[in-house]
Amino acid sequence: MTTHLFPERAASVLAGLLIGAALGLFLTQTVAAFLTFVLHRTLDVDGTPVLLALFIAVPVLGGIAGGVIGYRRGDDATPGRRGGRR
């Protein structure tokens, strides 16, 4: 029996974490660009602590959500275990 350094789902969790964080960052930047270019309102992140916390929390929460989704779907990524995909 081969012992693995990482759990079977580690790749799925890492991919989900990175994709979720990237989507969260993309979402915050899209909102900022929309407000700046369409509504002509510049966001003052330094002057508003709540807005700064929101711009930090959205990518972090996206990464956590992506990691959880990657963990839950990670078992489906190994087709040889139970005779194929479910």
What string of pLDDT tens digits covers the 86 residues of the chain? 566 656 778 888 999 999 999 999 999 999 999 999 998 888 888 888 898 899 999 999 999 999 999 988 876 545 555 555 55
Domain assignment present for residue 68? The answer is yes
Domain assignment present for residue 28? The answer is yes
Instruction: Count Cβ neighbours within 10 Å for each residue of 9-22 and write b for 16 or more, e otherwise.
Output: beebbebbbebbbe
Domain assignment present for residue 44? The answer is yes
Domain around 28 = 10-75
In whole angstroms, how far apart are CA 25 and each of 67, 74, 77?
15, 23, 26
Domains contained in the chain, number? 1
Q: What is the DSSP letter of 45?
A: T
Regarding pTM above 0.75, the answer is no
Domain assignment present for residue 27? The answer is yes
Domain assignment present for residue 3? The answer is no
Cα angle 40, 43, 47; round to 5: 140
